[in-house]
Structure 1
Amino acid sequence: MAKQFSGFEPEHECFVAEQHIFFVATAAPEGRVNLSPKGMDSLRVLGPNRLVWLNLTGSGNETAAHLRESPRMTVMWCSFTRRPLILRAYGAATAIHRDTPGWAELYAHFPDEIGARQIFDMTVDLVQTSCGYAVPFMDFREPRETLHNWAEKAGPDAIATYWAERNAVSIDGKPTGIPADLPVS
């Protein structure tokens, strides 16, 4: 059954490192709740009460918009192999943009990605495990390289244009805080 912890325990960190996918949920006080699957090598646990994840260019930018109004965030991992387990981290997060102090320090934790858009820095106040008995078994085949390949082919100028046209506001019309003239490198 569910157990609660004040932060990540070493076994939780090992579990997180083994997962190929995680899910992020945020919500502003008004508007839609966002739940997004994330992959690639884009998440790091930096201590018992801190995690960061690299947000790559995508079709939306809901998380950044939501955090401008409410810092609440939940991150979830679930095992599709071996023992059934669901792990959730609850807390508050901030968006670190390329032009924000601290970007370079946090970005150094990740592989270089041309489409890196923000880093979300989360202070974790609760970690919860639950059984995951109903989560199906699934096999991991390989990472999907489509996003990386798209960003490499598009190049910095096209990505900057994409951010300005598709990532500056949420689906509810809320600003995401991504600077329109931010250089992509």
Structure 2
Amino acid sequence: MAKVFTHLDEGLRKFIDAQSMFFVATAGAQGRVNLSPKGYRDTFAVIDDHTFAYLDLFGSGAETIAHLRDNGRITIMFCSFSRNSKILRLFGTGRLVRPDSAEFETYRPHFGLQHPGLRGAIVVSVDRIADSCGYSIPYLELVDERPALDALHARRTEEQFATRIAGDNATSIDGFPALEPDHPLPSSIPR
């Protein structure tokens, strides 16, 4: 039976910390729904009882950023693949905090390793927290985190990132604006 929670309590925080990945769902007012898997455990952080943030790394598009700019709606889902079945969904309103902003510095201590290809932090105010059974989710065993995205971004030049900002990261597949032309390049972000 599903349970609704009033805040991100210690038990939920432990469950979130134990998961090796999460899923992000957003949708613009018109157009497609986007669902993205996210990895790297050190890129997600609970900030307080009603706020979380995750590091947003360059990807094949910028759907989440575009949808958040359009209406802010976002849902995060965690699935337990271990013997204890559980699904946790965090519903809320999100926004991109650029890595060249002073506000970003307040979130930086919540994250672990540095990842190349950083676009910013997605910061979400949670308005609904609910779990469900997850009885049909298979048992899976984590072998390791996949280092491919970090390796790819480490090889990219500033020119290549600038091309992504002006190209496939400028708008969503439905034409919503995403990254601005003045978005900072990963190499220009203070460490």
Same fold (TM over 0.5): yes
User: Does structure 1 conserve the Cα–Cα contact (< 8 Å) formed by 2:161 and 2:185?
Assistant: no
> How far is the alpha carbon of 1:59 from its aligned partner?
0.1
Task: Decide which of 114, 133, 136 is 2:135's aligned counterpart.
Answer: 133
Closer/same/farther in 2, CA of residues 73 and 181 from structure 1, 3 Å limit: closer
- Shift of residue 100, structure 1, vs aligned partner: 3.5
Distance of 2:174 and 2:59 partners within structure 1 = 16
Structure 1 runs (4+) greater than 4 angstroms displaced = none
Residue aligning to 1:60: 61
Q: Distance in 1 between matches of 2:138 and 2:60?
A: 28
> Equivalences for 1:109-128 in 2 at 5 Å?
109-110=110-111, 111-128=113-130
Tell me which of 139, 152, 155 is aligned to 2:154.
152
- For the 8 Å contact 1:7–1:49, the answer to whether it is kept is yes
**Secondary structure of the corresponding residue to residue 102 of structure 1:** helix
Shift of 1:28: 1.0
Structure 2: how far apart are the matches of 1:181 and 1:125?
29
Q: Once superposed, what is the RMSD of the aligned Cα atoms?
A: 1.4
Shift of 1:155: 3.2
Q: Give the aligned partner of residue 168 of structure 2.
A: 166
Structure 2 CA distance, aligned partners of 1:5 and 1:63?
A: 25
Distance 1:103 1:160 in 2: 21
Gaps spanning 5+ residues in structure 2: where?
A: none
In the other structure, the counterpart of 1:69 is 70
Q: By how many angstroms is 1:184 displaced?
A: 2.4
Aligned residues: 185
Structure 2 distance, partners of 1:133, 1:101, is 43
Taking only the aligned residue pairs, the percentage that are identical comes to 38
The answer to whether the Cα contact below 8 Å between 1:160 and 1:184 also exists between their aligned partners in 2 is no
Secondary structure of the 2:150 match is helix
3-state DSSP of counterpart to 1:63: helix
- Partner of 1:104, secondary structure, is helix
Q: Structure 1: state its 5+ residue gaps.
A: none
Residues 140-170 of structure 1 show CA distances to partners (whole Å, capped at 9, x for unaligned) of 1111111000111113332222222221110
Q: Work out whether residues 92 and 123 of structure 1, in 8 Å CA contact, stay in contact via their aligned partners in 2.
A: yes
User: In the alignment, which residue of structure 2 is the partner of 1:24?
Assistant: 24
Cα deviation for residue 58 of structure 1 reads 0.3
Q: Distance in 2 between matches of 1:5 and 1:164?
A: 41
Residue 84 (1) aligns with residue 85 (2): yes
Secondary structure at the aligned position of 1:88 is classed as strand
